[in-house]
Amino acid sequence: METDVLLLAEPRELLALVPHLLGFHPHDSAVVVSLRGARGRLGVVARVDLDDVADQRHGPQVARSLAAHLDRDGARRAVLVVYSDPDVPGASGRVQAAASHVAEAFDVPFGGVDVLLVGGGGYRCLDCDEACCPPDGHPLDDLRSTRANAEMVLAGSVVAPSRGAVARIPAAPEPARRAAARARRRRAATHAKAVATGPDAVARWRLEQLALWRRLVAGATAAPGVGPAPALLGRLEAGLADRRVRDAVLVALLPGTGTLAERALTRAGLDEDGEVRDAVGRLVDPATADAPGDDVRPAESVLEAVVAHGRRRGQAPALTLLGLLAWWRGDGARGGLLVDRALTDEPDYRLARLLRGALDAGLAPGWVTRGP
């Protein structure tokens, strides 16, 4: 679908598109949309809690951060969409405060901001008179018949009912989780034995884990919907707990890396470390970045299965990799939620903290920022 060009004269097309871009239906939210160039090419979409941007003390700074985020994206114009239930006490005051803070912050870089209000079963422009919008707004059902919504649905877009549902991964049945736990413990014991034996034994153990990863992804590619055996998932969970294995799995996902993941595990010299840095760096470089390929979804399914079968509070490695893959696909909302889950499991998990910082800074994958 050509979502690149949006006309401000058609707010319903924009409103229909926002939930698809976020991956969920926003509630009590302020969403800003970057429009680039003279034709209003769609740019970054960012969401914050309505209470945060409406806050009298901190709201202006939140709005300035959003303005800086869109400015880095190359926005020429901006739209603010406020989602609020009008029946909640104080809703009108929060909406006006949020709109005021954003309008002030967006005045210099973008010449102001167009504000759309969604809530109570309707939508309208905040500053419209009755000749433009009815007092209760246009019915939200109108958004279902838009071109934007129809084309996103045909493209397979699924919108979650809420932000929290975006990153929800249901736990596997208890017998399967117990089988995975037994395999994880056995595999962790072989790792400890390899460490005691020496570097060569550790390298062999790591290569076995990477080979297992490749085998499971190949299986998920060949037979979508048929999950790996719980014991294999438990073994992979133990492997991902090793930082070097986790990094090799990440490298294996990147296009054009060939056998770099294996070489990085066995040689681990300056040349290999440099190649790994270059490969990861290409994710954010507009000149060299590739969009994720068809193998990303099978990889995600394997990682989701690891989380579903694994320890309830010990999934930082798999959740962080899932967050990175979501970010790479351009799904920053899901990526951020998965990274937050990883940091809940392990607050000092370094890769998750780095990714959280990149998301907070509005860093987009290079293929997104490259433009047409």
Q: What is the mean pLDDT of each run of 10 residues along the chain (372 residues)?
A: 48 91 91 87 87 93 91 90 91 95 95 93 82 79 88 85 87 97 98 97 97 96 90 98 95 88 77 72 79 86 97 96 90 88 96 91 75 50
Determine the Cα–Cα distance for residues 238 and 247; give it in Å rounded to an integer.
Answer: 14
Say if residues 88 and 129 touch (Cβ distance below 8 Å).
no
Determine the Cα–Cα distance for residues 277 and 347; give it in Å rounded to an integer.
Answer: 24
3-state SS, residue 223: coil
- Every domain of the chain with CATH number 3.40.140 lies at 11-165
Strand order of the β-sheet with 138-139 is: 41-49, 29-36, 75-83, 114-119, 122-125, 138-139
List, in sequence order, the alpha helices (H) in the chain.
11-22, 50-54, 59-72, 91-110, 147-154, 163-166, 174-197, 199-222, 230-240, 243-253, 260-266, 270-281, 296-309, 316-328, 332-345, 350-360, 366-369
Strand pairing category for 75-83 and 114-119: parallel
Determine the Cα–Cα distance for residues 140 and 120; give it in Å rounded to an integer.
Answer: 9
Helix (H) or strand (E) holding 267: none
Whole-structure pTM value: 0.73
Determine the Cα–Cα distance for residues 36 and 43; give it in Å rounded to an integer.
Answer: 6
Helix (H) or strand (E) holding 173: none
227 DSSP 8-state letter: P
What's the pLDDT score for residue 2?
41
What's the pLDDT score for residue 216?
97
The amino acid sitting at 92 is S
What's the pLDDT score for residue 162?
87
Q: φ and ψ at 183, to 5 degrees?
A: -65, -40
Of 96, 102, 92, the C-alpha closest to 31 is 102
161 DSSP 8-state letter: S
3-state SS, residue 245: helix
Q: In Å, how far from its chain's centre is CA 344?
A: 16
**CATH number given to 11-165:** 3.40.140
Determine the Cα–Cα distance for residues 309 and 279; give it in Å rounded to an integer.
Answer: 30
